[in-house]
A and B are shown apart, each in its own frame.
Chain A
């Protein structure tokens, strides 16, 4: 079993506490511009969606990196795609390659940055007031969503009962 960063979109209120926690943890200041997770709001549906690195198995960022600075690494119970700051040459090609826009850039260091799940203790998960962000086993991550769908089916079943 492997744990992943997962989000229950139903619970996100768009408060962006995750962005603050991330920037404080990795940059020592409150600055959403430096956060590795970013929340977007969509007014018409009153919904909020945090976007963060999915830690791809076949990571586009790793595949394209000319300096071999990005590697998939195994930890105790989870995997991360990790940037080695020493090896990063600041070419930024990974920023173009990532299909989700999850490679960030730190001007002060002239290096890229990305989510490393805080090496197993994600600060964003800790800061999330409603438990929208979760660090959990991948296999069962979607069970609550399935249950919600089942609940809706159950409701409709009642309606057609004769």
Chain B
């Protein structure tokens, strides 16, 4: 096989057996890699009704055909499993260097099954694979774990691991690789912890081969040329200031920056958590471009050094989502505290978005008098930076009130009888975009398979960034950004972007790169087909059909897990409480108007179930019967 390595590594943790299998060429052709291929193998092998933290659940680490190639940002892998946070399918993406190294060792994906009797880690050195004792590193933070495993194996090995939060089954624990890169959301780290699997270390010296080198090189080159067109207005701001750089101020201007648990979309303390403050005062790289993942021309990574005696640290971060979650969402206007909270999440291996939004929810419960001070052990008003940082650490270790925070905001709010104060969908918290000012994203939050999420379908890109270099807009003759406050154009936009992002998430490339290049669709298609030498799609329509196939397969998994149309909703605040100020003032999300139209466009019935005709059209006949 070209593009793909053609091999699966299957690791049975219960009996310690490791076997190698051929990658199914048909599955590869129809589901590409990453998110799609992961969904296919998970759907075929795991009963959607199993307890996510039981040995019956499986954990898949899946690369794409472009991972480890010169496709710009061909650095990604997807962790696919059933989520302990949502109960739905989880797919968490990360870059860095681990995913490419996995390909260089000769594997497209690893499937972990069962549960080890005691802590282990998997060491892969090309064809040699071995489960090693991890008892000595159990309990160690993610940075120490990576260093220790490299010392035990190979200093050039790449490591993906969990921290104490994953071991303690915090429902939103993540998997960290290459210092501070994270497969962040939906609690994939807790699944790893439930299997007693501390880490995966890999060293590979094989090559990824390309079927049609000239076609591949040309497509990659065109992609980069189209990317360079936006050097001044897009690429440079992100590489020199990171995602925290322009995003946090921009979202505040648009009036959608979740503030004090989404009570408003405008944060008065914005200047104290902004990217320019970070870069002038705390950045370790100052005027140098950022830190890149493998093969990435954008380099959005930050490294900071914070001197504040109370919140001092030196290391990764912060980025946009973490800054919003611990900053505006918690009403904290101290960048050092925000960055420190995010850094502890990295050390302990937790999702910064869910952690921040869970504390934000607790703060609102506290201020409204629903959460007694004695339960928390301290006052928990919005803006209490010290309490916030302390609670992050306590959550990872499940100490005191941390025990309750470790369940995520929905279960917290439910326990205190006010589930409506959890800003979540399917129990997964919002990313840093209040959907009342971005209605298409609201629809997408409600319908994306893993719950509220900005990155499995960036519908907001069509509006807020002024980006209109999407083929789906061009094809409709639209030359201006979509109005984010008008719901009318959002159902089709959400559907199309969701399908398109299924392809991006399956390719092995990073969506941040893909949204940065003019009309990338054709070049992404060409790169995948040139790399593999297989006509996976044939044309643009075929590619979008594959995206739709992946999206519908995830839907089938969730329906079988017990989800219904009732779960395709938003918190009442988004539907009933108008945004109090800013450009989105007076707006709610008209989900009741958008959802039926969206279902119709999807070929789903009024219960949100894909019709037999739609599944047949997508080639999901067997899956329909299952």
Using a CB–CB cutoff of 8 Å, the interface residues on chain A facing chain B are 10-11, 13-17, 20-21, 23-24, 27-34, 43-46, 127, 129-130
Contact = CB atoms under 8 A, between A and B. Distances in A.
Most buried by B among A21, A24, A44, A45: A24
B68 interface: yes
A30 B297 contact: no
Given A45-B284, A46-B285, A34 B70 contact: no
B297 A15 contact: yes
A29 B291 contact: no
Contacts of A31: 104, 205-208
Given A13-B239, A13-B299, A127-B70, A23 B207 contact: yes
B210 A43 contact: no
12 contacts: A14-B292, A16-B295, A20-B70, A24-B70, A30-B208, A30-B210, A33-B206, A34-B207, A43-B303, A46-B284, A46-B285, A129-B224
A32 B70 contact: no
Contacts of A27: 207
A14 B207 CA distance: 20
B289 interface: yes
Nearest to B97: A16
Given A10-B288, A11-B289, A31-B104, 15 more contacts: A10-B287, A13-B290, A14-B292, A15-B293, A17-B297, A20-B70, A31-B207, A33-B104, A33-B204, A34-B207, A44-B314, A46-B303, A129-B297, A129-B299, A130-B289
Nearest to B296: A15
Most chain B Cβ neighbours within 10 Å, of A15, A29, A32, A127: A15
A117 B290 CA distance: 27
Interface string B199-232: 0000011111110010000000000100000000
Contact of B179 (A17, A20, A21, A43): A43
Interface in B40-80: 68-70
Interface in B563-600: none
Q: Is the interface of A mostly helix, strand, loop or mixed?
A: helix
Nearest to A107: B205
Contacts of A23: 207
B468 interface: no
Nearest to B147: A43
Name the 9 nearest CB pairs between A and B, nearest first: A31-B207, A29-B207, A33-B205, A15-B292, A13-B292, A46-B303, A129-B297, A13-B299, A46-B284
A14 B285 CA distance: 13
Residue of B70, B314, B315 with most chain A CB atoms under a 10 A cut-off? B70
B294 interface: yes
A15 B104 contact: no
B622 to A, nearest CB: 34
Nearest to B303: A46
B288 A11 contact: yes
B213 A24 contact: yes
Contacts of A14: 291-292
A13 B97 CA distance: 13
Contacts of B208: 29-31
Contacts of B289: 11, 13, 130
Interface string B269-282: 00000000000000
Contacts of B315: 43
Nearest to B178: A41
Given A32-B104, A130-B289, A15 B213 contact: no
Given A17-B70, A43-B179, A45-B284, A29 B210 contact: yes
Contact of A20 (B69, B204, B206, B299): B69
A6 to B, nearest CB: 17
A32 B206 CA distance: 9
A20 B295 contact: yes
A10 B299 CA distance: 14
A30 B288 contact: no
Contacts of B297: 15, 17, 129
B211 to A, nearest CB: 11
Contacts of A28: 209, 213
Contacts of A16: 97, 294-295
Contacts of B213: 24, 28
Interface in B242-274: none
A115 to B, nearest CB: 18
A45 to B, nearest CB: 7
A19 to B, nearest CB: 9
A14 B296 CA distance: 9
A119 to B, nearest CB: 19
Interface in B68-108: 68-70, 97, 104
Contacts of A29: 207-210
A40 to B, nearest CB: 9
A30 B70 contact: yes
Nearest to B293: A15
Contacts of A44: 314
A33 B156 CA distance: 11
A17 B296 CA distance: 8
Contacts of B206: 31, 33
Contacts of B299: 13, 15, 129-130
